[in-house]
Amino acid sequence: MNGEGSTVSPTAMAAIVLLRVVIGWHFLYEGVAKLTNPGWSASGYLLQSRGVLSGFFRGLAADPNVLAMVNPLTKWGLTLIGLGLILGCFTRLASAMGILLILLFYLCNPPFVGYFYSIPTEGSYLIVNKNLVELAALAVVLTTGSGRVAGLDRIIHRLLRRRR
Amino acid sequence: MLLALSTVPALGLFGYAWSRQHAYEQKQKEAARPAKAVPTGLSEINVALVGAGAQGQVLLDAMLRIPGLRFRAVCDIWKEYNQRRAVNTLRKYKFEVKGYEDYREMLDQEKDLDAVVIATPDFWHAPHTVDCLKAGKHVYCEKEMSNTLEGARSMVLAARETGKLLQIGHQRRSHPRYLHCHEKLLGEARILGRIVTVNGQWNRAVSADIGYPERYAIPGDRLKQYGFKTMDQFRNWRWYKGLGGGPIVDLGSHQIDIFNWFLGAVPAHVMASGGLDYHDPKTHEWYDTVMAVYEYETPAGPSRAYYQTQTTNGSQGYFENFMGDQGTLVVSESEASYPGFLYRDPNAPAWDEWVRKGYVSAPKVQEARSESKEEVTLDVRESVTPDLHRVPVVLRDPYHQPHLENFFESIRGQATLNCPAEVGYETAVTVLKVNEAVEAKRRLSFRAEEFKV
């Protein structure tokens, strides 16, 4: 099952592909759920922002022109990254963008000492929350090239190489 | 090749799961909505919405849950945004609606309309309402009835002349909890005894001015044509003199209306203090903070009612508090904060009968508590803490739905209006006087005939 350029064992690679698909699923549904909810806006989440960057995030929510860009970017970003990860299509780009997006979510509402949020959370977090875990998992996906093993990248890369 | 496509089935699985989830959500939504089919014998009412801003959307959402309505038109001068949004919403519900910028054109074109729901800025209420009534339509007009008494008066007269119905949007008048309090608790049970003091508040946190996406801005000449100087003024009209009445009118009129209703009287005097204490005077003209005291001569004796509205701190939200010699009622429209609390004075006759009849919940004895773990000693002069009861009435529908239902049922002859023009006028007289009193810096008196048209 080992593809070109991969140094991980076939079982490890299968686990990474599984990881990539479930993260992709999560992104895709987060995106689709927002796309199909006409009332959705990032403003609530942004307005709750805490921490050093809270001024920046609240500023995004305060300006309707900016918000009119942030909302579709978030919705479509989540959806496209999700599709990319599930299909293994432009996997590295999708992972990098996913890391960037999650990093923004994380920094918007970081679970630091002494911060409390009114958004209900189902667990207990200190510095590390599920956003950070998903971010770290995407770092694995980013660096292991699983799309070239099981994914459309396999075809894309072959086409690119033939051109050269 | 096989490996390259090996994860595609996951996408198929996702599509399947999502379609199930979507179908489930649709089913939930439909279950929450009353059946769209018109019950037998119920004639359809052709409705138009004039003013599709924030409040227009609230009314539209509530109306979409009421059976027997057919939406025909949406009128809003913000064609690029609000009008389009409302039209698209209604088209999704399979209504054939047309969008209009000018309400007169709408009245010319839409001959089949039975009713018009008006949610435009206050200074437009009178022309919109009068013209719609004269065109033979029944009208539901948002409060405040008008920003001027002449405007409000012309609306009452137009309703009388045309014989068409005019409901003013003081929606608490149709709220089942308020109706229960008025009819059962204050009417039949006289549960509070003599109401001597009343206290109503609406506390609202600081909020930024309302913005707009620049690419959808209304061109300047159209704004001017409809009485607005700038897009910012159009979005924040409530703060401008000549357009709205400020927070005392926007928020206060809902609750001061309840003072009149529950006390069964209109006030004799008012004094008030207010000012633009916090907000930027460049973009705000009306008072952001107002405190008013009304003096009533009720059928039972004198009552004093305090009202406060401020827009710098949202804690404690909004409520009306009626204090009688036998008990206290704290009530609000909200299900979240003050959904109806009653305190029985320990010396008052027992409320057992009202508990048995289901008018109030069984009491919860209030124990003297202290935040500190240490024993506290209560001063002997302190009043004994009264028992807490609840008003057992919950509204699960949107707040405005019962009032709209009352309007449409009245059109069908199955009900009478809960807030006809005359009642709305009394409230407008009561509330608009506060701004006058703030300016005059002295106690103003009402003449009894002021409340009549």
- The per-residue pLDDT for B377 is 58
Please, which residues 74-113 of chain B have a Cβ atom closer than 8 Å to chain A? none
> Does one domain contain both B121 and B231?
no
> Does one domain contain both B179 and B166?
no
| Partner A contacted by B136 (CB < 8 A) | no
- pLDDT tens for B63-97 read 999 999 999 999 999 999 999 999 999 999 999 99
- C-beta of residue B154 within 8 angstroms of C-beta of residue B130: yes
Q: How confident is the model at residue B425 (pLDDT cuts 50, 70, 90)?
A: very high
| Partner A contacted by B336 (CB < 8 A) | no
B14 closest CB neighbour out of A28, A36, A63: A28
**Contact check, Cβ <8 Å, A32/B213:** no
- The per-residue pLDDT for B36 is 46
> ∠ CA B330-B247-B196 to the nearest 5 degrees?
35
Shortest distance, CA B10 to any CA of chain A (angstroms):
7
- The per-residue pLDDT for B43 is 83
- pLDDT averaged over every residue in chain B: 92
Is residue A1 over pLDDT 50? no
Closest Cα in chain A to B5: A151
Is residue A132 over pLDDT 90? yes
Is residue A115 over pLDDT 80? no
| Partner A contacted by B2 (CB < 8 A) | no
Size of interface A-B (CB pairs under 8 A): 50
> Does one domain contain both B250 and B136?
no
| Partner A contacted by B4 (CB < 8 A) | yes
User: Cβ contacts of residue A84 below 8 Å, gap of 6+?
Assistant: A24, A90, A91, A93, A94
Is residue B48 over pLDDT 50? yes
Q: How confident is the model at residue A2 (pLDDT cuts 50, 70, 90)?
A: very low
- The per-residue pLDDT for B382 is 59
- The per-residue pLDDT for B379 is 60
User: Which chain B positions have a beta carbon within 8 Å of A25's beta carbon?
Assistant: 10, 14
Domain assignment present for residue B411? The answer is: no
- Name the 3-class secondary structure at B294: strand
The whole-angstrom distance between residue B71's C-alpha and the CA centroid of its chain comes to 22
User: Which chain A positions have a beta carbon within 8 Å of B14's beta carbon?
Assistant: 25, 28-29, 86
Listed range (B41-45, B119-123, B350-354) with the worst mean pLDDT: B41-45
The residue from B172, B197, B212 where one domain ends is B172
Q: Is the model more confident about B27 or about B267?
A: B267
Of B283, B265, B145, B279, which is closest to residue B211 (Cα–Cα)? B283
Closest Cα in chain A to B217: A65
**Contact check, Cβ <8 Å, B1/A152:** no
- C-beta of residue A135 within 8 angstroms of C-beta of residue A103: yes
Closest Cα in chain A to B216: A65
Strands B115-118 and B138-141: what pairing? parallel
Residues A101 and A113: their CA atoms lie apart, in Å, by: 23
Listed range (B101-110, B132-141, B341-350, B412-421) with the worst mean pLDDT: B341-350
User: Which chain B positions have a beta carbon within 8 Å of A17's beta carbon?
Assistant: 6-7
A151 closest CB neighbour out of B4, B208, B212: B4
Tell me what the mean pLDDT of segment B340-362 comes to: 91
Residues B212 and B225: their CA atoms lie apart, in Å, by: 19
| Partner B contacted by A155 (CB < 8 A) | yes
Domain assignment present for residue B251? The answer is: yes
Please, which residues 78-117 of chain A have a Cβ atom closer than 8 Å to chain B? 83, 86-88
The ipTM (two decimal places) reads: 0.82
Give chain A's end-to-end CA distance (angstroms, integer): 25
- pLDDT tens for B7-18 read 999 999 999 999
Tell me what the mean pLDDT of segment B136-150 comes to: 97
Listed range (A119-123, B327-331, B445-449) with the worst mean pLDDT: A119-123
Q: How confident is the model at residue B26 (pLDDT cuts 50, 70, 90)?
A: confident
User: Cβ contacts of residue A22 below 8 Å, gap of 6+?
Assistant: none
B7 closest CB neighbour out of A28, A32, A150: A150
Classify each residue of B343-359 as buried b or exposed e, where b means 16 or more C-beta atoms within 10 Å of its C-beta: bbbeebeebeebeeeeb
Domain assignment present for residue B413? The answer is: no
User: Cβ contacts of residue B73 below 8 Å, gap of 6+?
Assistant: B48, B49, B97, B98, B99, B100, B106, B109, B110, B113
**Contact check, Cβ <8 Å, B213/A68:** yes
| Partner A contacted by B376 (CB < 8 A) | no
User: Which chain A positions have a beta carbon within 8 Å of B86's beta carbon?
Assistant: none
- The per-residue pLDDT for A150 is 93
- What is the layout of strands, in order, in the sheet containing B289-298? B387-390, B341-344, B327-331, B318-324, B195-203, B301-310, B289-298, B267-275, B444-445
Closest Cα in chain A to B17: A29
Q: pTM, whole model, 2 decimals?
A: 0.73
- pLDDT tens for B397-418 read 999 999 999 999 999 999 999 9
Residues B274 and B308: their CA atoms lie apart, in Å, by: 10
Among all chains, which residue has been given the structure tokens 């099952």?
A1
> Does one domain contain both B105 and B179?
no
- pLDDT tens for B368-388 read 554 444 555 556 555 667 789
Domain assignment present for residue B30? The answer is: no
| Partner A contacted by B40 (CB < 8 A) | no
- Helix or strand run (H / E) with residue B392: none
Domain assignment present for residue B405? The answer is: no
Convert B71-132 into a string of H (helix), E (strand) and C (coil): EEEEECCCHHHHHHHHHHHHHHCCCCCEEECCHHHHHHHCCCCCEEEECCCHHHHHHHHHHH
**What are phi and psi for residue B16, nearest 5 degrees?**
-65, -50
CATH code at position B152: 3.40.50.720
Domain assignment present for residue B256? The answer is: yes
- C-beta of residue B78 within 8 angstroms of C-beta of residue B57: no
User: Which chain A positions have a beta carbon within 8 Å of B1's beta carbon?
Assistant: 155
Share of residues in chain B with pLDDT > 70 (%): 93
- Name the 3-class secondary structure at B51: coil
**For the purposes of burial, counting CB atoms within 10 Å of the CB of A116, is it exposed (0-12), middle (13-18) or buried (19 or more)?**
exposed
Listed range (B18-22, B47-51, B122-126, B288-292) with the worst mean pLDDT: B18-22
Tell me what the mean pLDDT of segment B282-292 comes to: 97
- The per-residue pLDDT for B370 is 47
> Does one domain contain both B111 and B187?
no
> Does one domain contain both B139 and B63?
yes
> Does one domain contain both B145 and B266?
no
Strands B318-324 and B69-75: what pairing? unpaired
- pLDDT tens for B194-243 read 999 999 999 999 988 999 999 999 999 999 999 999 999 999 999 999 99
> Does one domain contain both B151 and B245?
no
Alpha-helical regions (H) of chain A: 10-35, 43-47, 54-62, 64-87, 91-108, 130-144, 153-163
**Contact check, Cβ <8 Å, A28/B10:** no
Q: Is the model more confident about B127 or about B25?
A: B127
CB count in 10 Å sphere of residue B205: 11
Domain assignment present for residue B322? The answer is: yes
Q: Name the E strands within B266-360.
A: 267-275, 289-298, 301-310, 318-324, 327-331, 341-344
Convert B335-367 into a string of H (helix), E (strand) and C (coil): CCCCCCEEEECCCCCCCHHHHHCCCCCCCECCC
Domain assignment present for residue B123? The answer is: yes
Structural domain of B305 = 175-396+421-451
**What are phi and psi for residue B289, nearest 5 degrees?**
-135, 125
> Does one domain contain both B113 and B211?
no
Is residue B422 over pLDDT 80? yes
> Does one domain contain both B192 and B300?
yes
- The per-residue pLDDT for B416 is 96
DSSP type of residue B208: P
Tell me what the mean pLDDT of segment B23-29 comes to: 82
| Partner A contacted by B356 (CB < 8 A) | no
Domain count across chain B = 2
> Does one domain contain both B213 and B162?
no
| Partner A contacted by B14 (CB < 8 A) | yes
> Does one domain contain both B277 and B366?
yes
**Contact check, Cβ <8 Å, A88/B7:** yes
